[in-house]
Amino acid sequence: MKTTLYLSILSLFVGNLFVQAQEIKEISKNDVLLKVRENNTSIKISEEEFNAAKADYKQTNAVFLPNITASHTGISTTNPLMAFGSKLNQGILTQNDFNPALLNNPTTTQNFATKIEVQQPLINVDGFFKRKAAKSKMEAMSLKTERTQDYLVFEVEKAYMQLQLAYKAVNVLEKALETANANKEMANNSFKQGYLQRADILNVDVRVTEIKNQLYTAKSNVQNASNYLSFLMNDKDFVVYKPSESLTISTLNIDDKSISENRSDIKAMHFASKAYEQMNKADKMAFLPRLNAFGSYEMYDNKVFQGNANGYLIGAKLSWDIFQGSKRFGKAQKSKAELEKSKLEYNQYISKSNLELNKVKRQLIDAKNKLELTSLAVEQSKESLRIRKNRFKEGLEKTSDLLQAETKFLQKQLEYNQTIFEYNFTQTYLEFLTKE
């Protein structure tokens, strides 16, 4: 038992040194929120996802804008057809070039061609709907980014309350340790006077050690809560934070709280479903023909980067893929199934959100009732401890009864602070669920 006692005291001493070696920095909740909005990695990831969706939408500009390419090609050939055509494009044919011997066995001919091509879409119905789908996806990703920010505000609220709760526990346990040490001194005096036995003194010592261990755990919880805040703020410094505001009871009216379809994540699902609808229309419109215009301007010469001869070509092409081995039928069926699935998921999500809202409202009522009861229990246990302590001084109370009353008072204080946290957290969660 002595070995255990020594180890506990040693661990507490080392833990206190560890805490003291770190920087303790006071911080407000608004400061945390500001740094999270600026530096949080999840927000940055969400923003990059939006940028990717925005880039996909920009790619659909190809439905309206032309495709322009430029090339410079050089060849050297003795192929009869290519040699004759190259000279024809260069505009250097002579009467002698029609000699059958030269036509059949031409000399080595060089040709350099500079070509600028333009392809302009005119009618591409399925492309129009794909563009609408990309825009809906972009809007959904924008709303997802907004909801990510809302969620991180909620996480900051929770983490900051956890830090407040951890400091409350430290304060309660430090006061409990002072009380336990005072009781220990009083018990030692009674032992010296012969009113207590050695076993009673050992019980008091054990109680002091237990509180010290609890205090060490509470200080570890302060570090854990501080580290999580650092993670949310993407802060690499090893800092122990101290909240500038204490944990107090907050109030919220829940009568008019309901799930809104304007909530960013619900709207995001709506736009995602709309994107599936547009893709389904695009797959159906793929059966229609496409009309595209094209043109080119060409320059030819037998020397590199020259262009003594030139010409142009313009035209339009109406194309219709009549049958692709039933591939388009299957693709349209798949997009239709994905559309129906997205509608079902949307309705299920709203239903589940309402279910969660009703559950949280009941939890809030339960937490409020628990808060009143634990507050009363704290007062009752405090009075019980006061009475037993006075009786113990007069030798009318057992040591075990005093220790039991002391333990209960400590438990009720910690439970009361925990209930405040649960009550405030439930309200914060309710606001997060009903935020538009």
Q: Which of 115, 117, 116, 119 lies closest to 66, judged by CA?
A: 119
Predicted pLDDT of residue 22 = 62
Q: Rounded to whole angstroms, how far apart are CA atoms 322 and 355?
A: 50
Q: Are 208 and 174 in contact (CB under 8 A)?
A: no
285 in helix, strand or coil? helix
Question: Quick one: tokens of 277?
Answer: 């609808």
The backbone torsions φ and ψ at residue 8, rounded to the nearest 5 degrees and listed phi first, read -65, -45
Collect contacts of 382-388 with beta carbons under 8 A, ≥24 apart.
382/409, 384/408, 384/409, 385/409
Domain containing 8 equals 2-39+124-286+330-434
Q: Rounded to whole angstroms, how far apart are CA atoms 202 and 356?
A: 51
247 part of a folded domain:
yes
Beta-carbon contacts of residue 313 (< 8 Å; ≥ 6 apart): 294, 295, 296, 298
Question: Quick one: tokens of 34?
Answer: 């500001």
Report the predicted TM-score, pTM, of the whole model to 2 decimal places.
0.81
Q: Are 226 and 239 in contact (CB under 8 A)?
A: yes
Find the CATH number of the domain harbouring 274: 1.20.1600.10
Q: Rounded to whole angstroms, how far apart are CA atoms 400 and 118?
A: 95
Predicted pLDDT of residue 161 = 96
410 part of a folded domain:
yes
6 part of a folded domain:
yes
Predicted pLDDT of residue 419 = 95
Q: Are 214 and 174 in contact (CB under 8 A)?
A: no
Predicted pLDDT of residue 46 = 94
> Residue 216: CA atoms inside 13 Å, Cβ hemisphere, count?
18
414 part of a folded domain:
yes
159 part of a folded domain:
yes
86 part of a folded domain:
no
Total number of domains in the chain: 1
Quick count: other Cβ atoms within 10 Å of Cβ 239?
18
Predicted pLDDT of residue 205 = 85
268 part of a folded domain:
yes
Burial class (CB in 10 A: 0-12, 13-18, 19+), 372: exposed
The backbone torsions φ and ψ at residue 301, rounded to the nearest 5 degrees and listed phi first, read -165, 165
| Per-residue pLDDT tens digits of the chain, which is 436 residues long | 444 444 444 444 444 544 445 678 999 999 999 999 999 999 999 999 999 999 999 999 999 999 999 999 999 999 999 988 888 888 888 888 888 888 888 888 899 999 999 999 998 998 999 999 999 999 999 999 999 999 999 999 999 999 999 999 999 999 888 888 887 887 787 777 776 778 877 888 888 898 899 999 999 999 999 999 999 999 988 789 999 999 898 887 777 788 989 999 999 999 999 999 999 999 888 888 899 999 999 998 888 888 788 889 999 998 888 777 788 888 889 999 999 999 999 999 999 999 999 999 999 999 999 999 999 999 999 898 888 888 877 777 777 777 888 888 889 999 999 999 999 999 999 999 998 8
Q: Are 91 and 69 in contact (CB under 8 A)?
A: no
Please state the separation of Cα 273 from the chain's center in Å. 21
Q: Rounded to whole angstroms, how far apart are CA atoms 386 and 368?
A: 28
Beta-carbon contacts of residue 170 (< 8 Å; ≥ 6 apart): 215, 218, 219, 222
301 part of a folded domain:
no
Predicted pLDDT of residue 5 = 43
